[in-house]
Amino acid sequence: MKAARQYFAGSFIVTAVGLLLGAAVGAYYQHTPAGIARTVFIVAVLAVLETSLSFDNAVVNATVLRDMTPAWRHRFLTWGIAIAVFGMRLVFPLIVVSVVAHVGPWEAVRLAALDPVEYARILTSAHEVLGAFGGSFLGMVCLKYFLDEEKEVHWLAAIETRLARLGKVEAAGLGIMMLAVWGVSRLVHGGREEFLVAGIFGLVTFIVVDGIGMALEVGPDRMKNLHRASAASFLYLEVLDASFSFDGVIGAFALTNNLFVIAIGLGIGAMFVRSLTVMLVDRGTLASYRYLEHGAFYAIGALALLMLAGTVVDVPDALTGLIGAAFIGLSLWHSVRYNKARQAAARTGTATG
């Protein structure tokens, strides 16, 4: 088994390059040693925040990645990180600004480079639309996991057994999320139609991505499709990462208005999350800790609710991270207790025998 540092070797290289790029950006905009140091510090803070607040993302990624071929796992760390850093943390915000402000892509780049305050204002103004899309998509991810009538392992049994029974109703998750999006839209202050459209697109995106995965699902007689199924899983992971990144990109403006600093910092964090995901898969951590996967999906459900609620009321970024960390920590603690109880029972049975 590889040592932990081997899994994160690429992440540390990306960190070194990212900090150098941060220094270059600082030199371009600030022109002073103090300005350069401050920019590098912000890059480091963003990287730490993205990594620490995305553990639930890593666990959910691991549940998908463990069924992918080694070739597609490698692509997840190569193509995937390029899409995560350049696509979701750099290009996607530019597209949002271009659409919202009705300007061309190059004008959006000009705003990001020369007028970061206006760029931040335009991007932040799209918070409701992004919250509707990301919240509805992540809500479906959470509900698909719990609304499974074949699910046998339950952590919070009082809740999960009822949800599993509800899973017998066809499209129950879709109905729940449609009602949730409609209910929140009634509370949105202006832009209600845009909110509903974004929420619908989030639901449709989940249906399309999940449908592709189901169509290419691998059975005992369909092993020849394993490569294509892995490709579908890769697509699912990228959309999942996109939904997770919305709040991070918007929240990063609390530290800086500079798009390039945000992209570098969050990109470093995204690389660490991917390395952590691969380590969880290789070491079989999800199998070793019985309820860890449950905690991650509860954290996703909480994030979905907070993204939807954040379109109506101000939700502190710290709350989003703390709730996710709480679910992960509690599920890990309960898993350790379960393992100890099993070991104690096994010792008692051996002694009795």
Q: Is residue 352 part of a domain?
A: no
Q: Is residue 304 part of a domain?
A: yes
Report which DSSP code applies to 136: H
Report the percent of the chain where pLDDT is more than 70. Answer: 92
Boundaries of domain holding 111: 4-308+317-347
- The confidence score (pLDDT) of residue 351 equals 54
Q: Is the pLDDT of residue 79 over 90?
A: no
Please give the average per-residue pLDDT across 183-211, as a whole number.
87
CA angle 256, 275, 296 (to 5 degrees): 80
pLDDT digits (tens, 9 = 90+) for 259-292: 888 889 988 888 888 888 888 888 888 888 889 8
Domain count, the chain: 1
Count how many residues are written for the chain.
Answer: 353
Q: Is the pLDDT of residue 344 over 50?
A: yes
- The lowest-confidence range among 14-23, 235-244, 328-337 is 235-244
Confidence grade of residue 190 (pLDDT, cut at 50, 70, 90): confident
Q: Is residue 277 part of a domain?
A: yes
Q: What pTM, to 2 d.p., does this model score? A: 0.81
Whole-angstrom distance, CA of residue 253 vs CA of residue 126: 13
- The confidence score (pLDDT) of residue 174 equals 93
Contacts 24+ apart (CB under 8 A), 283-287: 283/1, 285/62, 286/59, 286/62, 286/63, 286/66
CB 297 within 8 A of CB 146: yes
- The confidence score (pLDDT) of residue 18 equals 92
Q: Is residue 51 part of a domain?
A: yes
Please give the average per-residue pLDDT across 26-37, as a whole number.
88
- The confidence score (pLDDT) of residue 206 equals 87
- The confidence score (pLDDT) of residue 223 equals 45
Question: Directed axis angle between helix 9-29 and helix 259-282, to 10°?
Answer: 180
**Exposed, middle or buried: residue 5 (CB in 10 Å: 0-12, 13-18, 19+)?**
exposed
Confidence grade of residue 350 (pLDDT, cut at 50, 70, 90): low
- The confidence score (pLDDT) of residue 226 equals 65
What is each CA distance from 170 to 141, 147, 173, 175, 176, in whole angstroms? 16, 10, 8, 9, 12
Q: Select the more confidently predicted residue: 333 or 227.
A: 333
Average pLDDT, the chain: 83
Q: Is the pLDDT of residue 44 over 80?
A: yes
Confidence grade of residue 170 (pLDDT, cut at 50, 70, 90): confident
Q: Is residue 42 part of a domain?
A: yes
CB 328 within 8 A of CB 295: yes
Q: Is residue 353 part of a domain?
A: no
Whole-angstrom distance, CA of residue 145 vs CA of residue 204: 18
Confidence grade of residue 17 (pLDDT, cut at 50, 70, 90): very high
- The confidence score (pLDDT) of residue 161 equals 92
pLDDT digits (tens, 9 = 90+) for 203-254: 998 888 887 767 665 554 454 466 667 777 788 788 887 777 776 777 777 7
Q: Is the pLDDT of residue 302 over 60?
A: yes
Q: Is the pLDDT of residue 127 over 50?
A: yes
Handedness of CA 143, 208, 246, 275 (dihedral sign): positive
Owner of token pair 């193509």: 79
- The confidence score (pLDDT) of residue 143 equals 92
CB 50 within 8 A of CB 269: yes
- The lowest-confidence range among 175-179, 203-207, 303-307, 318-322 is 318-322
Tokens of 83: 């899409």
- The confidence score (pLDDT) of residue 89 equals 76
- Residue 314: helix, strand or coil by DSSP? coil
